[in-house]
Amino acid sequence: MELIADLEKIEQNSDEIHERFYRDLEFGTAGLRGILGAGTNRMNIYTVRLATQGLANFLNKRYKNPSVAISHDSRHKSRLFTEESARVLAANGIKVFISRELEPTPVLSFCVRELKCNAGIMITASHNPAIYNGYKCYGEDGCQMTDHAAGEVYNEISKLDCFKDVKLCSFDEALNSGTIDYIKEETYEAYLQNVLSQTVNKDICKDAGLSVVYTPLNGTGNILVREALKRINVNDIKIVKEQELPDGNFPTCPYPNPEIPSTMNLGLELARQTGADLLLATDPDADRVGIAAKDKNGEYRLFSGNETGILLTNYILMSRKELGNLPQNPIIVKTIVTSILIDRICKKYGCERRNVLTGFKYIGDQILRLEQVNEENRFVFGFEESSGYLAGTYVRDKDAVVASMLICEMAAFYKKQNKNLPEIIDELYAEYGYYLNTTLNFEFDGASGLEKMTSIMTELRENPPKAIANIKVVALADYLKSQELNVLTGETEKIDLPSSNVIAFSLEDGGSAIVRPSGTEPKIKLYITSVGKEKSDAEEKANLIASNMEKFIGV
């Protein structure tokens, strides 16, 4: 009835009808993600059932007696979509393990591996606004589905009619028969034990006197983040009450993304009131974490995703080398749009740095490759600039629970030396140079927006700039063509990564500008790296590069 009422509202609105029905919500490597509502280009029970029937057909062709784990976050319709997915799978003879309550995305990744499932489904739209929901699909390794597998599922979906071809059964009957089973508490405890095993300086928090403000942003992190911190003896934790309980409306932060400074406002207010050393904020599905820390003047400094990753990389490598438990030939994995300062830290500690495409599944894939040759212990840490981090190999997605634990441990370690995180990041900049990373988003909504984004990327490929902000372009990497051109010599080199719609311009002074359409939202993202001796130098360059690139993008 709700969907019928939704359709009746737009009966006379041709533009809205077009937006909702001009295409099917496309199933890709990120699964589905879209605005809630009626229409083939919206998230609703019919698009969810259709995707799940396609997944069921794919699994039944590939496996004998397949099984799937399903969980969800705090968004509107998340529980409904979880149960509808389970009904379709069970009707197709597929065993389903389902969470009783909402859980973080990394827990779903763990459950797929722990329960030896052939796939996983996480109902979430991560940090998108409240009008969105999504459907993330995982492979049997606990990593988001590969391009090839997602393509096969999409082919299965394309053959189906959402009304005629979808099998459904009663949820309660499937539960009674055992085709659907609730995930047991011991599985969640096993996950938590794996998180705790990633501690670097054991018991460092016990007498450090670290004080923390934490906000789960009305999402899924509340129970597990607090339990992990409690178990490493971080006992002084204040919770942002307005953002403590699950609420799909996200009433205090329309964009529940810890990368956005305004999202941290309530947490910063409480930190100032209590004098906390550290503020942690996890996004609704608890796979990302943002932080702020108090400096020596009592002011709070927000850290970018890159800066937190730089701090953690340096802390983990330094500590494990001092403790003598850094593995032989250690590996740090980062995405191509993540800070290149990591390269210099890795070099200092004799660590290999691997670059992968944007998307944590590519970091997970590197762990799988190591696992296949019995070298998974070489993986030390992986991260992407958008506040996603992972230590350990127990999951294959970014994990805000383990990241929150390690951030607190790191803050306690330095507090015992009478230092704070702002001091440490400044010391690293003094040692290596100021690497400023700036991300800009340009939104292109609707059908016309998709066409505009395609046109922009085509124009950048066919007529690339020779200089950006009067700084010469020395290399042009086109990840769609898997080719990098050395502009100075004219020589080309193959890029040994999967094809992706990304263009990277390397600049003569060591900076860069990288352009890519988002895989989950109607926007083009611009990643700028500017390098200076001091912050002011880097900021000036970043502003000039941004202004120049805006002209090329046409905004």
- Adjacency order of strands within the sheet including 95-98: 32-35, 132-138, 119-123, 67-72, 95-98, 180-182
- Cα separation, 483 vs 365, in Å, equals 21
The closest of 251, 121, 192 to 404, measured between CA atoms, is: 192
The CATH fold assigned to 434-553 is: TATA-Binding Protein (3.30.310)
Confidence of residue 199 (pLDDT cuts 50, 70, 90): very high
The token pair at 431 is: 């040692």
- The full set of domain ranges for the chain reads 2-191, 209-432, 434-553
pLDDT confidence of residue 446: 75
Confidence of residue 1 (pLDDT cuts 50, 70, 90): low
Confidence of residue 107 (pLDDT cuts 50, 70, 90): very high
Confidence of residue 154 (pLDDT cuts 50, 70, 90): very high
pLDDT confidence of residue 454: 87
Q: What tens digit of pLDDT does each residue of 76-100 get?
A: 999 999 999 999 999 999 999 999 9
- Cα separation, 216 vs 225, in Å, equals 9
pLDDT confidence of residue 152: 95
pLDDT confidence of residue 38: 87
Mean pLDDT of 157-179: 96
- Positive or negative torsion for Cα 320, 315, 542, 338: positive
What CA dihedral angle connects 517, 519, 520 and 524, to 10 degrees? -10
Q: Give exposure, 513-527, as e/b (b: 16+ Cβ within 10 Å).
A: bbbbbbebbbbbbbb
Pick one of 3.40.50.720, 3.10.180.10, 3.40.120.10, 1.10.760.10 as the CATH number of 209-432. Answer: 3.40.120.10
Confidence of residue 175 (pLDDT cuts 50, 70, 90): very high
- Cα separation, 278 vs 502, in Å, equals 36
| Secondary structure (DSSP) of 124-160 | --TTS-TTEEEEEEE-TTSSBPPHHHHHHHHHHHHT-
Mean pLDDT of 299-308: 97
- Positive or negative torsion for Cα 122, 399, 404, 303: negative
Q: Could you say which DSSP state residue 243 is in?
A: G
* 3-state secondary structure (DSSP) of residue 282: strand
Which residues are known to be catalytic?
Answer: 126
Q: What tens digit of pLDDT does each residue of 37-70 get?
A: 988 889 999 999 999 999 999 999 999 999 999 9
Within this chain, domains 2-191 and 209-432 share the same CATH topology: yes
CATH superfamily of 2-191: Alpha-D-Glucose-1,6-Bisphosphate, subunit A, domain 3 (3.40.120.10)
Q: What tens digit of pLDDT does each residue of 240-293 get?
A: 999 999 999 999 998 999 999 999 999 999 999 999 999 999 999 999 999 999
Summary mean pLDDT of the chain:
94
Least confident of 176-190, 322-336, 483-497: 483-497
- Cα separation, 36 vs 131, in Å, equals 6
Q: What tens digit of pLDDT does each residue of 365-381 get?
A: 999 999 999 999 999 99
pLDDT confidence of residue 6: 75
pLDDT confidence of residue 393: 97
- Positive or negative torsion for Cα 332, 336, 338, 343: positive
Confidence of residue 555 (pLDDT cuts 50, 70, 90): low
Q: What tens digit of pLDDT does each residue of 397-434 get?
A: 999 999 999 999 999 999 999 999 999 999 999 999 89
